[in-house]
Amino acid sequence: MSRSGPVAAYGPILAVALLLAMLPVATSANTILNSMVMALLIALAGQGWNILGGYGGQFSFGHAVFFGTGAYVTALLQARFGVNAYVAFAAGIAAGAMVGTILGYLSFRSGLRGSYFALVTLAFAEVFRILANATAFTGGAAGTLVKLDVRPENFQFSSRAVFFWIALGLVTAVMLGVRFMERSRFGAWLVAVRENEDAARALGVDTLKVKIQAITLSAGVTAAAGGFYVQYFLFIDANLAYGTWISIEALLVPIVGGLGTVFGPLIGAVALHGLAEATKAIAGRIPGIDLALYGSLLVLAIAFAPNGLQGLMAKIGRGLSFGRAP
């Protein structure tokens, strides 16, 4: 991977994106499109997490803080100040990134790592949730509603396919960006920080700066997922924005798909989403059975594919090629 040319590096991403882009042509079933939009949204949030957690080795339990900030800024700028949706969306990403910078500065400067960093992010998300729930400006507990006005200039579309393409575009752009990062000095330094901080410092890597840059990027990407969520549902409240669900989904998909890989979050999101739909279809009417099944399969997956799905596929691939050898 280290010496591959640009075609080998970026080609597969574009190919996958093009293939996926055909989906609305192949099926007009909005059930599938809606499901895929949600999967892409989670893949986007997860890719954000992956930049910091997968490449930088800093596990966050509180990416909701970025998702929620992106969501709230996107929603509030429109609802309160009548700002154009696209501008609000961009501002949401910027605000999320800024929160990332601040959070990163505070915690990395204090030398927080591992479980401690994970916990501090969790706590930040919780503080934001409580504040958003209690502040009148955010609409308090009633949440904030973006005015329903389905026009392309409002980032609102009557067709699920358009949302799908936008989500796909965002995910693809970020994947290309992550691939570019992988192949840059910053990427090399970030991975060095993950592998061994002291060694990285000895080699002239400003580890604090690299980590802060990484969390800023990471936060911006996850905030984009939040902003997109708002445009898709036109509603946000404190529990949706800053609840633990998104923190968990965001970390789950890259880990399941393949940590620190460009495709990991997308593979994880599609797989987990598919798993959830499948268990739901199998489980029948007793509430909870489907999720219990989902949880069990998750545990089994970790037991038998500890390096994520990509690791599993690689293992199977190796097994096959060994099998073919004379």
Partner 1 sequence: MFSPEIVTAAVLNGLLTGAVYALVSVALTLVYGVLHIINFAHGATLTAAMFAAYVAWQAGIDPLVAVIGLAPLFFVLGYAVQRWIIGPASHGEDRNILLVTLGLSIVIENVLLATFRSDTRSIDVPYGFSSVDLGFVFLPMPRVIAFGITCVVALLLWILLARTDAGKAIRAVAKDKLGAALVGIDVPHVYAVTFGLGAACLAVAACVLLPSYFVNPRVGNAYVLVAFTVVVLGGMGSVPGAVIGGLFIGIVESLSGLYFGESLGQLGIFLIFILVLLVRPTGLFGARA
Partner 2 sequence: MTTHRFGTTRRQVLLAGAGLAGTLGMPGLVRAQAAAVKVGVLQPLTGALAQDGQAGQLGAELAIKAINAAGGIKSLGGAKIEAVMGDARSTPEGGTAEVERLAAENVSAIVGGFASPICLAATQAASRYDLPYIVDVGVNDQIVSRGLKNTFRFAPGSSMVSGQALDNLVKLNDAAGKPMKTVVLVHEDGLFGSGLAKLLQAELPKRGFEVIDTIAHPTPARDMSNVALQIKAKNPDLVIPSSYYGEFVLLARTMQQQRVKPKGIYAVLNGAASNYRFVKEFPEAAQFVIDTNHWYDPRNATAIALKKEVEAQGKFFLYNVALNYSAMLLLADAIERAGSADRAKIIAALETSTFGGHIMPYGPTKFVNGQNTGAAAVNTQVQNGDIKVIFPEAFSDAKAVFPVPA
Partner 3 sequence: MSGPLLSVEGASKRFGGLLAVDGASFTVERGSITGLIGPNGAGKTTLFTLVAGFETLTAGTVCFKGDDLGRMPPHERAKRGITRTFQIVQPFAGLTVRENIAVGAHLRHAARGEALARAEAVAKRVGLGDRLDQPASGLTVAGRKRLELARALATEPTLLLLDEVLAGLNPSEVRDIVPVIREIRDGGVTILMVEHVMQAVMSLCDRVFVLAQGRIIAQGTPTEVTRDPAVVEAYLGHGAAARLASREVARG
30 binds, among partner 3, partner 1, partner 2, none (CB under 5 to 8 A by kind): partner 2
Q: What is residue 110's DSSP assignment?
A: T
Backbone angles phi, psi at 278, to 5 degrees: -65, -45
- Nearest Cα neighbor of 308 from 277, 241, 262, 240 is 262
Binding mask 1-40 for partner 2 (x = CB under 8 A): -----------------------x---xxxx-xxx--x--
Distance CA 199, CA 192 (A): 8
CA separation, residue 55 to residues 27, 233, 255, 261 (Å): 35, 31, 12, 8
Give me the least distance between CB of 143 and partner 3, in Å please: 43
Of 256, 240, 238, nearest in space to 298 by CA: 256
Closest to partner 1 by CB, 88 vs 252, is 252
Phi, psi of 168 (to 5 degrees): -65, -40
User: Segment contacting partner 2 (CB under 8 A): 88-96, 98-106, 143-151, 295-303?
Assistant: 143-151
Query: Residue holding tokens 């934001």?
Result: 128
| Whole-angstrom distance, CA of residue 216 vs CA of residue 186 | 13
DSSP state of 235: E
Q: Distance (Å, rounded) from C-alpha 127 to C-alpha 95?
A: 17
**Which residue ranges make up the site for partner 3 (CB under 8 A)?**
2-3, 183-185, 188-189, 191-192, 194-196, 198-207
* 101 contact choice in partner 2, partner 3, partner 1, none (CB below 5 to 8 Å, kind-dependent): none
Per-residue binding letters, 53-92, with partner 1 (x by CB under 8 A): ------x---------------------------------
Q: Which of 120, 146, 205, 272 binds partner 1 (CB under 8 A)?
A: 120
Q: How far from the centroid of its chain's Cα atoms is residue 37's Cα?
A: 13
48-56, 74-82, 158-166, 184-192 -> range binding partner 2 (CB under 8 A): 158-166
Strands in 75-217 per DSSP E: 144-145
Interface positions, 249-268, toward partner 2 (CB under 8 A)? none
Q: What does 148 interact with, of partner 3, partner 2, partner 1, none (CB < 5 to 8 A by kind)?
A: partner 2
| CA distance linking residue 51 with residue 215, whole number of Å | 8
User: Which of partner 2, partner 3, partner 1, none lies near 248, with the C-beta cut-off 5 to 8 A by kind?
Assistant: partner 1
- Spell out where 102-158 has E strands: 144-145
Q: How far apart are CA 279 and CA 248, in angstroms?
A: 19
Per DSSP, 258 falls in state -
- Residue 137's binding partner, choosing from partner 2, partner 3, partner 1, none, with beta-carbon cut-off 5 to 8 A by kind? none
Residue numbers at the binding site for partner 2 (CB under 8 A): 24, 28-31, 33-35, 38, 130, 133-134, 140-143, 145, 147-148, 158-161, 233-235, 237, 240, 245, 280, 285, 287-288, 290-291
Residue numbers at the binding site for partner 1 (CB under 8 A): 59, 106-107, 110-112, 115-116, 118-120, 122-124, 126-127, 130-131, 133-134, 248, 252, 255-256, 259, 286-292, 294-296, 298-300, 302-303, 306
